[in-house]
């Protein structure tokens, strides 16, 4: 039984690649310095996999920025606007072109925008979106895959396994940049380059080649299915002797099973962590010529593998296919897990014993194989760890479970309808037409960040820290009052991050020291770990919100992160459904909302920017997800009286297909991101006749550019043509924490001015 690995995190245990790339970008590192770090990391990662006994060790899974961008370069799919990067500056090489595509290029008199970036399926990893034009050409351009194979071959005992993104998935993750063609029709032009690459690899001595086609586990059109048949028939006809390992992950093959198993490849990989039920179906249809790689170790989470469960899959496959045709592997690339649990020295040892990061997961693959060969001791140790987790008092809180179970529809329901609440709130707040507000955070200046760093190091006492935060808060309040905003915020100066802040104050969460996961390019995130039943031992935000409210006669918004967003941006438990965990968070947030109301806060915002990104990959699963996600939000929001106004906020607002569910959240006010699309995104709300109040963002906070009054007036007018003017709020697209004060101040003065101008017209 071969032990297979699909991909390894590449940034390095101590984020070495991040540091090296940033030094290269700032000119402090030369090309050789950068390449030396990259080479060292590759060798290290191969060594770790060798030590873990992996047979099929991937190469070309390393990337300086992103594996989809690597593929674009391999295929010579380089948008024309980047040509001058090489021609205008002769000293530039492929790596500079590559980074220019990833990050834009502002040098040598050039100003070229970066390529678009978007999320890789339902992960938090962002890839660079391939661009396609009508007369698109492909040619073998970058030799990276060969260089990496040859380097690996020098250092590995087993023949390395090159990894590449398959042709159909490559087309589907991209975007047409011109009208009048369908990118899937480019398959005929694309396949010849793949054939060339595969034959070159064979020439260098490659055996197994992993070809990733995650799209096989998604909803496919007829034409896309035909593209699969065409591409793989052509490849098998023209690449004799290459052993293709067709790799799927993140979802079940489902109705595409027959298509997938009948493609002419040597092996198929399926993800049994995300989609265990597909095994029977696949086994029943798999032709005798194809081996099966079983993805049993979770590549998306940080929990120790449950060997009993994995072994049941493995044994079933061995019975059906024989040991020689079965491989064992993680479900997907380990790119999405942190590097090495051994580096964590502060996690409670009981909990640490339930966890596994990338390095430990390789070991799990190895151990599963040993257990199949009869090693019973390893199995017993695992059974013990798993049952200690199942029974641990650290996780299981009877009262939390009971309360979650007892949630009723009444708990998810405000006392009165929106129409009735709106009247009550209008009478209470007496806000002007087009009330102005902001989304919550104000600039997190270096001064503010350094306060937190100094507190952590013990250079500041808590009292000194609080005093400095109080001062920043009061300054922000005075300033908001002066420019005439209607509903104020306290500025979120006390928060490091909108999820971490709450995780640190809730029971059931833990934080790692080095649990970094690549988000995009050199950017890594360190998600909190939800390990147990969640409860709220004390108020989380009341101190700062009531301090802020006490310092102004204006309305002060309380500011919370919603349950779905907290779930979505954390590593979650795998021993209960996501919905269950979300409801637990929802109850904690509900208690905080009620506590804020009792402390005299009249307007409370519950941010839910991640609702949309939580959508399942398959449309058939959307309804179930949306049901509990929306209900959890409602549970968090419905503990208050009619007169208390609940806001929510969402960025990335492409809501066309879920607008009914957004309306169903029944927030009194929703603020959304719309300015970059010139209010186009608002049409979904208009078409739906969205009934509640809404603040479509009137300026883009992602750019330092200051919007003019006229611009914002016309955006608000546009919104007022689409929806009742009496329901419209005026606010920026999102929080201002990444901005600097100078541009923020001018922009908000202009924004208030725009609202005032429009009020005078009525
Ligand atoms: N209240 C948060 C802020 O203003 C919202 C951030 C977000 O939507 N991502 O920063
Ligand atoms: Zn936002």
The mean pLDDT of 28-54, rounded to a whole number, is: 98
| pLDDT of res. 606 | 98
Nearest of 421, 492, 503, 508 to residue 649 by alpha carbon: 492
Please check if 332 is assigned to a binding site. no
| pLDDT of res. 2 | 97
Ligand number with the minimum distance to the CA of 733: 2
Report the C-alpha gap between 443 and 742 in whole angstroms.
10
- CA 201–ligand 1 middle distance (angstroms): 47
Look at the alpha carbons of 340, 345, 346, 347 in this order and tell me if their dihedral is positive or negative. positive
Beta strands in 142-257, from DSSP E residues, in sequence order = 161-165, 175-176, 208-212, 243-247
Measured CA to CA in angstroms, residue 106 lies from 23, 69, 114, 314, 335 at distances of 17, 19, 10, 53, 30
The mean pLDDT of 92-98, rounded to a whole number, is: 98
Who's near 421: CB < 8 A, 6+ residues apart? 414, 642, 643, 645, 668
Model confidence pLDDT, tens digit, residues 118-161: 899 999 899 999 999 999 999 999 999 999 999 999 999 999 99
The mean pLDDT of 613-617, rounded to a whole number, is: 94
Model confidence pLDDT, tens digit, residues 521-540: 999 999 999 999 999 999 99
Tell me if ipTM is over 0.90.
yes
Task: Please state, rounded to an integer, the average pLDDT across all residues of the chain.
Answer: 97
Decide the pairing of beta strands 645-650 and 669-672.
parallel
| pLDDT of res. 705 | 87
| pLDDT of res. 155 | 97
Structure confidence at residue 327 as a pLDDT band (50, 70, 90): very high
CA 232 to chain centre: 31
The verdict on the CB of residue 608 being under 6 Å from ligand 1 is: no
Ligand 1, residue 650: give the atom nearest the CA: 8
Exposed/middle/buried for residue 470 (C-beta within 10 Å: 0-12, 13-18, 19+): middle
Model confidence pLDDT, tens digit, residues 199-221: 999 999 999 999 999 999 999 99
| pLDDT of res. 465 | 98
Decide the pairing of beta strands 243-247 and 208-212.
parallel
Please check if 148 is assigned to a binding site. no
| pLDDT of res. 651 | 87
| pLDDT of res. 762 | 78
| pLDDT of res. 582 | 98
The mean pLDDT of 625-631, rounded to a whole number, is: 98
The mean pLDDT of 640-659, rounded to a whole number, is: 92
Q: Where are the alpha helices (DSSP H) in 211-323?
A: 222-238, 257-261, 278-285, 307-321
The mean pLDDT of 657-675, rounded to a whole number, is: 96
Closest CA to ligand 1's atom 9: 609
What share of the chain in percent tops pLDDT 70? 100
- CA 339–ligand 2 middle distance (angstroms): 30
| pLDDT of res. 580 | 98
Please check if 524 is assigned to a binding site. yes
Structure confidence at residue 273 as a pLDDT band (50, 70, 90): very high
Closest CA to ligand 1's atom 8: 609
| pLDDT of res. 678 | 87
Tokens at 635, concatenated: 């549970």
Structure confidence at residue 113 as a pLDDT band (50, 70, 90): confident
- CA 441–ligand 2 middle distance (angstroms): 10
The mean pLDDT of 628-650, rounded to a whole number, is: 98
The mean pLDDT of 12-20, rounded to a whole number, is: 97
Model confidence pLDDT, tens digit, residues 431-460: 999 999 999 999 999 999 999 999 999 999
Q: Where are the alpha helices (DSSP H) in 435-516?
A: 446-457, 462-483, 500-503
**Is 490 considered catalytic here?**
no
The mean pLDDT of 57-61, rounded to a whole number, is: 98
| pLDDT of res. 704 | 83
Kindly tell me if the per-residue pLDDT of 243 is higher than 90: yes
Model confidence pLDDT, tens digit, residues 338-392: 999 999 999 999 999 999 999 999 999 999 999 999 999 999 999 999 999 999 9
Please check if 673 is assigned to a binding site. yes
Closest CA to ligand 1's atom 6: 735
Measured CA to CA in angstroms, residue 658 lies from 516, 611, 665, 700 at distances of 32, 10, 11, 23
The mean pLDDT of 181-197, rounded to a whole number, is: 98
Structure confidence at residue 548 as a pLDDT band (50, 70, 90): very high
Look at the alpha carbons of 473, 478, 479, 483 in this order and tell me if their dihedral is positive or negative. positive
The verdict on the CB of residue 498 being under 6 Å from ligand 1 is: yes
Please check if 613 is assigned to a binding site. yes
Measured CA to CA in angstroms, residue 759 lies from 410, 454, 755, 756 at distances of 39, 46, 6, 5
- CA 607–ligand 2 middle distance (angstroms): 8
A 10 A CB-CB count for 348 gives 10
Closest CA to ligand 1's atom 1: 440
Structure confidence at residue 54 as a pLDDT band (50, 70, 90): very high
- CA 673–ligand 2 middle distance (angstroms): 7
The verdict on the CB of residue 734 being under 6 Å from ligand 1 is: yes
Q: Among residues 269, 336, 702, 740, which one is catalytic?
A: 702
């Amino acid at each position: 039984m071969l032990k297979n690995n699909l991909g390894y995190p590449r940034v390095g245990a101590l984020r070495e690649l991040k540091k090296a790339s940033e030094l290269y970008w700032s000119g402090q590192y030369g090309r050789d310095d950068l390449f030396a770090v990259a080479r060292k990391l590759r060798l290290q990662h191969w060594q770790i996999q060798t030590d873990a006994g992996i047979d099929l060790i991937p190469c070309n899974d390393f990337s300086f920025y992103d594996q989809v961008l690597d593929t674009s370069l391999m295929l010579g799919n380089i948008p024309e606007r980047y040509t001058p990067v090489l021609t205008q500056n002769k000293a530039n090489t492929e790596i500079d072109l590559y980074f220019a595509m990833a990050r834009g290029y502002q040098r040598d008199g050039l100003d070229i925008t970066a390529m678009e970036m978007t999320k890789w399926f339902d992960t938090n990893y962002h890839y660079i979106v391939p661009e396609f034009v009508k007369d698109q050409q492909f040619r073998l351009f970058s030799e990276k895959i060969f260089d990496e194979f040859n380097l690996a071959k020098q250092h590995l005992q087993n023949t390395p396994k090159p990894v590449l993104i398959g042709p159909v998935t490559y087309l589907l993750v991209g975007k047409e940049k011109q009208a009048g063609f369908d990118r899937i029709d480019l398959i005929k032009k694309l396949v010849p380059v793949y054939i060339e690459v595969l034959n070159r690899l064979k020439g260098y001595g490659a055996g197994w080649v992993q070809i990733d086609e995650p799209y096989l586990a998604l909803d496919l059109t007829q034409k896309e299915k035909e593209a699969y048949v065409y591409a793989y028939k052509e490849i098998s006809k023209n690449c004799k002797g290459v052993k293709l390992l067709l790799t799927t992950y993140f979802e079940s093959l489902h109705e595409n099973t027959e298509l997938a198993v009948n493609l002419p490849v040597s092996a198929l990989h399926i993800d049994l962590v995300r989609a265990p039920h597909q095994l029977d179906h696949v086994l029943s249809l798999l032709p005798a010529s194809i081996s099966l790689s079983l993805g049993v170790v979770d590549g998306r989470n940080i929990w120790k593998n449950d060997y009993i469960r994995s072994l049941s899959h493995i044994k079933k496959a061995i019975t059906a296919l024989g040991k020689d045709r079965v491989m064992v592997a993680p479900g997907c690339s380990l790119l999405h897990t942190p590097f090495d649990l051994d580096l964590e020295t502060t996690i409670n040892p009981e909990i640490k014993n339930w966890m596994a990061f990338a390095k430990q997961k390789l070991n799990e693959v190895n151990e599963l194989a040993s257990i199949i060969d009869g090693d019973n001791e390893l199995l017993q140790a695992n059974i013990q760890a798993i049952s200690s987790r199942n029974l641990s008092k650290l996780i299981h809180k009877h009262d939390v479970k009971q309360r979650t179970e007892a949630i009723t529809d009444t708990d998810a329901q405000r006392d009165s309808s929106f129409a009735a609440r709106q009247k009550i709130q209008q009478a209470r707040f007496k806000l002007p037409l087009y009330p102005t507000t902001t989304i919550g955070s104000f600039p997190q200046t270096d001064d503010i960040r350094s306060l937190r760093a100094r507190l952590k190091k013990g250079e500041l006492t808590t009292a000194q820290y609080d005093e400095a935060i109080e001062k920043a808060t009061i300054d922000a309040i005075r300033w908001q009052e002066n420019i005439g905003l209607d509903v104020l915020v306290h500025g979120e100066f006390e928060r490091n991050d909108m999820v971490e802040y709450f995780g640190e104050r809730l029971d059931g969460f833990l934080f790692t020291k080095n649990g970094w996961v690549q988000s995009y390019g050199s950017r890594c995130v360190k998600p909190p770990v939800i390990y147990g039943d969640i409860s709220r031992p004390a108020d989380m935000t009341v101190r700062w919100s009531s301090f802020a409210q006490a310092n102004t006669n204006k309305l002060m918004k309380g500011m919370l992160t919603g349950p779905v967003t907290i779930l979505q941006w954390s590593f979650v438990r795998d021993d209960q459904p996501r919905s269950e965990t979300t409801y637990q968070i929802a109850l904690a947030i509900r208690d905080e909302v009620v506590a804020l109301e009792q402390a005299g806060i009249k307007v409370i915002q519950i941010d839910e920017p991640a609702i949309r990104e939580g959508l399942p990959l398959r449309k058939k699963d959307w309804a179930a997800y949306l049901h509990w996600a929306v209900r959890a939000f409602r549970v968090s929001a419905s503990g208050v009286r009619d007169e208390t106004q609940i806001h929510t906020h969402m960025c990335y607002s492409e809501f066309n297909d879920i607008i009914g569910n957004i309306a169903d959240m029944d927030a009194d006010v929703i603020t959304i991101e719309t300015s970059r699309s010139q209010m186009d995104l608002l049409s979904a709300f208009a078409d739906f006749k969205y009934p509640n109040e809404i603040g479509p963002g009137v300026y883009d906070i992602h750019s330092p550019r200051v919007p003019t009054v006229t611009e914002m007036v016309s955006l608000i007018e546009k919104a007022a043509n689409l929806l009742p003017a009496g329901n419209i709020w005026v606010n920026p697209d999102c929080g201002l924490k990444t901005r600097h004060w100078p541009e923020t101040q001018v922009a908000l003065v202009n924004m208030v001015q725009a609202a005032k101008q429009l009020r005078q017209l009525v």
